[in-house]
Chain A
Amino acid sequence: MLKNKFLHTITILIMAFVMSSCEKVVDLKLEDAPQSTVVEAIVHDSIGDNYVIISKSKPFNDNVGGFETVSGASVVISDNTGNSFALNEIRSGVYNSPSLKGIAGRTYFLSINADGKSITAQSVMQARVNLDSLSQEKVNKPFSSDTISEYRIFTHFYDTPGYKNYYRLKASSKTVQQKGVLVLNDNLIEGDHVIFPIFQTNFLENDTVLVQLLSIEEENFRYFNALTSSQNGEVPGNPETNLNGDDNVVGYFAAYAKSQRLYVIQHMP
């Protein structure tokens, strides 16, 4: 009896060691910084498939309401062969051109005039790499007692040999949003037939998942890499943006060559 009690006490003490770490939600007074303009602009290599979203940042501790959008901006995308497209505001802060289609090898120029600020950026459309097929795997969850099966999607594609490729992978279903951003370079897969998992996001049985393989520029790869690791706190800071014009601008402009497929998650025993 006494021995048991002793062991129990020791166990508690050890728990104190292994688990004594304590997490709690705190209020922390943070510095106030000037509001930033946020630009998220993508041109795809299919017609009308483009958008420019302009919004504003807000203080970190402000949890009331949504984010301010920027309406009434003048947004123009042009290319290095002399074409120019003025984008229409289709929703508050969201701009689109129904006639713009990105073409591989061309350089695209973004020009925004909003709130009296001028913002510019450029990006080169890459050659498309085809998403050949998709497969799935049941997720092994050793640390969880959850009984609902979750599935992970694998993308199959052929990395163009002799060329520095950079990719962004997107996957979402009606019910599941992708967690984080997934970008990769071909350092480990140069010229390979690649089977690469979309590892951050799991799906459920019968989900219809839209998967996109985007061929992107190195600059955009670095941007998302920096964005991801800065959020984890490794080297916190705003990632270097390709948007020019104002100190208080964050976000990116990118031309993406897109290959996409739909996939329905099957039951696996």
Chain B
Amino acid sequence: MFIVLSNYCLAQERFTLSGTIKDEANGEDLIGVTIFVKELPGVGTVTNVYGFYSLTLPKGNYTIQYSYVGYKTIEFKANLTQNIKKNVQIISGATDLAVVEISAEREDENVRSTEMSVSKIDMKEIESIPVLFGEKDILKTIQLLPGVKSGGEGNAGFFVRGGSSDQNLILLDEAPVYNASHLLGFFSVFNSDAIKDLKLYKGGIPAEYGGRLSSVMDIKMKEGNAKHIAVTGGVGLISSKLTIEAPIVKDKGSFIISGRRTYADLFLKLSNNADQRNTTLYFYDLNLKANYQLSEKDRLFISGYFGRDNFGFADRFSFTWGNTTATMRWNHLFNDKVFSNTSFIYSNYNYKIDIAAAGFIINSKIQDINFKQDFDFFWNENNKLKFGGDIIHHTFDPGEISSSGEAVGSTKIENKYSVESALYVSNEHKFNELLSATYGLRYSNFTQIGPGEIYTFDKKGNVSDTTKYTENNPITTYHGFEPRLSVNYILNETSSIKTSYNRMYQHLHLLSNSSGNNPTDSWLPSSNNIKPEIADQIALGYFKNFKDNTYEFSIETYYKVLQNTIDYRTGATISLNPTVEGELLYGKGRAYGLEFYLKRGKGKFTGWISYTLARTEVQFDQINKGAWYPAKQDRTHDVSVVAMYSLSERLKISSTFVFYTGNAVTFPTGKYIIDGQIINLYSARNGSRIPNYHRMDIGVTWDGKNYKEITNPETGEKERVKRKFQSSWNFSVYNVYARENAYSFTFRPKEDSPTQTEIIQLSLFKIIPSVSYNFNF
């Protein structure tokens, strides 16, 4: 890697231009603004996630362009005879509402950047996509992109390139979110009003990220309006939300506070049925963030998330769960080339089940305390170096039962502790105008520490030995190197080919007894029994833009090899089992596929088509006689179509259609009698398929009169002026043609005739209309 140093040793005087770029209207940092040098074609940089940029050039006079789609390009004449600090505020140029802004980036960024296998979502874009209950949801929208597959209805989990849903690292302002779903998966925990930016890496994952095999979803919260107080809100059929942002000191610091609550259960109170009146069912969440510029070189951010779901029945039963995350960050500029960020991160996910009727309470949690240090070194115009490290202390509390009754004793499954750490270095290197690459290396280490009783198991999963360890005593350590590489070769002005390779280690494993994400799923660390899961992925892609970047097209293919994949013994007991590690089996996996994407991003008619053809298989010596078989998330075909059309300035219609192959499942093939009862007989694991899933949604967004016309007193011309109060109505219909998609199948004896059996299909949503009203001022 350090061969690149030789470029640097030319004996020409060089100076650095650096600064931050913000939105003129609200002071939000802008991520990914492109900075060009007119006189040096191909030379430039982009702002980092804190809006900072730095560009080192030979001494001279340059015209610098700051360009961001949807914003007016700004030019700056730089006489670079010394280091220059230039903070820029750019103005949103989106006054023509008929043009739906589809991307907040340079139009051909998809072709030019070394990033491949990356999905991004523009927060403006998701407003018009129809969704369940009219609650716009970034997690649901990203599942409409190629290679990202929905976990199914009633499931916020998603599958990336054949990975299971625990193989996605979901970060909210750097804090890992362990359960990203509300109400058993009907909503995600991310309130889109508080979210600024989302990026999902499916492959070519940069070295700064690690810990999960399949993907990284990096979500950034808004900083809050640094110019003036702003209020955003929405009222829907089942939920409402409100966001307030304001400067702390104008242009120096700001905060945002955003809350959301569902009130489905308030309507249950109106029911004539006593059972329904007594049912509680809601969630709420709260996002908070504040930032303050301490000095020219230092900036402090504090952000937090708190969310909770409540499900209960009178005072007899309650079940609550939720995440809490907190992040404290300190940005520091060592000089105009070295940007540093230091983070302290806390994350906690827990659930509590209180069965008052039976007199016991179950508690479980996972908690992380994390320290992270990152450096951005803007070395020269061709090299941008990133390096840093982090260390995480994990606490796993698999479950504790406290009982007041006599029937069940109080018990606690021992906590597990571990320390996960990593060091990384990564360089974004432009070799010439056509060839660029991002390459890096990550070293990761995972140590399981005491106190605790450590079990070893025999071949059948019975405990064969128990060892006691004292506090902080290391039990098992795993470590390894994770190389990362991503290369872009530009073929011509409008097309490029890209390739990438990455190796990932995963030390946390989700124990889930369903294909979905249940609130009671618990995480298990790597241990003396569980080896880290390892994935190697290569990908190749072709990117092409047509008709002045009106159409974006890409085709990508990937091949992934997985080691130490985990599955369960048949009939395993997963929850509240102290010897659960004995229920696990270890095997290997492979996943490969082809992803097509065509998007129209300009004009009245916008949208995209994505199609994925894929296969995901696993192999375990003890399952299906050692043969390869489809993983449950194996999907042969997956199609999404999103279309949006502006009928007029104020009226937009949209529609989505999805189709995918049903999950691989294990259905019984026969039945037999044991102990006088009918038992299902199975043949191969995952040998059957749920019927194909398809659905169409439609939506209409009707904007209020958000502009007024005034006559300019000087020129006499009419001008459009944005009103302070902006509003819109959103109507949507989920599952328009009322397809009964299968959520689950139950195979059971008939109630009136127990010697016979029947198959019951459960479908969740037939047709769901909804309406919501959104405003901001």
Contact = CB atoms under 8 A, between A and B. Distances in A.
Interface of A: 7, 10-11, 13-18, 20-28, 30-33, 35-36, 38, 40, 55-61, 63, 66-67, 140, 142-143, 154, 177, 180-181, 187-189, 192, 195-197, 218-219, 222, 225-231, 233-240, 250-252
Given A14-B267, A227-B571, A238-B570, 9 more contacts: A16-B768, A17-B238, A23-B760, A40-B675, A177-B676, A235-B513, A237-B682, A239-B570, A251-B674
A226 B578 CA distance: 16
B571 A17 contact: no
A228 to B, nearest CB: 7
Given A60-B670, A60-B747, A24 B761 contact: yes
A30 B672 contact: no
Interface of B: 133, 237-238, 264, 267-268, 270-271, 275-276, 279, 281, 313-314, 316, 357, 401, 406-409, 411, 460-462, 513-514, 568-574, 578, 665-677, 679-683, 685, 687-688, 740, 743-747, 755-766, 768-770
Contacts of B769: 13
A6 to B, nearest CB: 12
A180 B688 CA distance: 26
Given A226-B569, A226-B570, A230-B570, A21 B763 contact: yes
20 contacts: A10-B267, A14-B268, A18-B268, A18-B279, A22-B762, A22-B766, A23-B762, A26-B745, A28-B745, A30-B669, A38-B673, A38-B674, A59-B671, A143-B313, A181-B677, A234-B574, A235-B570, A236-B682, A239-B571, A240-B569
Contacts of B461: 222
A63 B669 contact: no
Contacts of A236: 570, 665-668, 680, 682, 685
Contact of A18 (B264, B411, B513): B264
A135 B762 CA distance: 39
B571 A57 contact: no
Contacts of A196: 407
Contacts of A189: 409
A26 B759 contact: yes
Contacts of B314: 142
A252 B572 CA distance: 17
A40 B674 contact: yes
B740 A22 contact: yes
A187 B687 CA distance: 35
A57 B670 contact: yes
A197 B411 CA distance: 18
A55 B674 CA distance: 10
Given A23-B761, A240-B460, A154 B407 contact: yes
7 closest Cβ pairs, A-B complex: A226-B571, A237-B570, A33-B669, A57-B672, A236-B666, A230-B571, A33-B683
A36 B672 contact: yes
B407 A25 contact: no
A11 B267 CA distance: 6
Given A195-B407, A231-B679, A236-B680, A28 B759 contact: yes
Contacts of A234: 513-514, 571-572, 574
Contacts of B673: 38, 55, 67
B302 to A, nearest CB: 36
A17 B153 CA distance: 13
Contacts of B514: 234
Contacts of B755: 66
A142 B669 contact: no
Contacts of B276: 18
A46 to B, nearest CB: 19
B665 to A, nearest CB: 8
B262 to A, nearest CB: 10
Contact of A17 (B133, B316, B406, B513): B133
A21 B764 contact: yes
A35 B683 CA distance: 11
A227 B670 contact: no
A67 B768 contact: no
Nearest to A164: B463
A12 B460 CA distance: 52
Nearest to B314: A142
Contacts of B763: 21-22, 24
B355 to A, nearest CB: 11
Contacts of A180: 677
Nearest to A195: B406
Nearest to A177: B676
A31 B683 contact: yes
Contacts of A15: 271
A245 B750 CA distance: 33
Nearest to B514: A234
B51 to A, nearest CB: 40
A252 B682 CA distance: 16
A57 B681 contact: yes
A239 to B, nearest CB: 5
A188 B409 contact: yes
Contacts of B275: 143
Contact of A20 (B237, B676, B745, B765): B765
Given A25-B758, A60-B681, A7 B270 contact: yes
Nearest to A251: B674
Contact of B670 (A35, A181, A192): A35
B674 A227 contact: yes
A195 B572 CA distance: 26
Contacts of A59: 669-671
B687 to A, nearest CB: 6
A116 to B, nearest CB: 20
Given A187-B578, A189-B409, A36 B670 contact: yes
A18 B679 contact: no
Contacts of B281: 18
A229 B572 contact: yes
A238 B681 contact: yes
Contacts of B760: 23-26
A58 B670 contact: yes
A235 B759 contact: no
B343 to A, nearest CB: 38
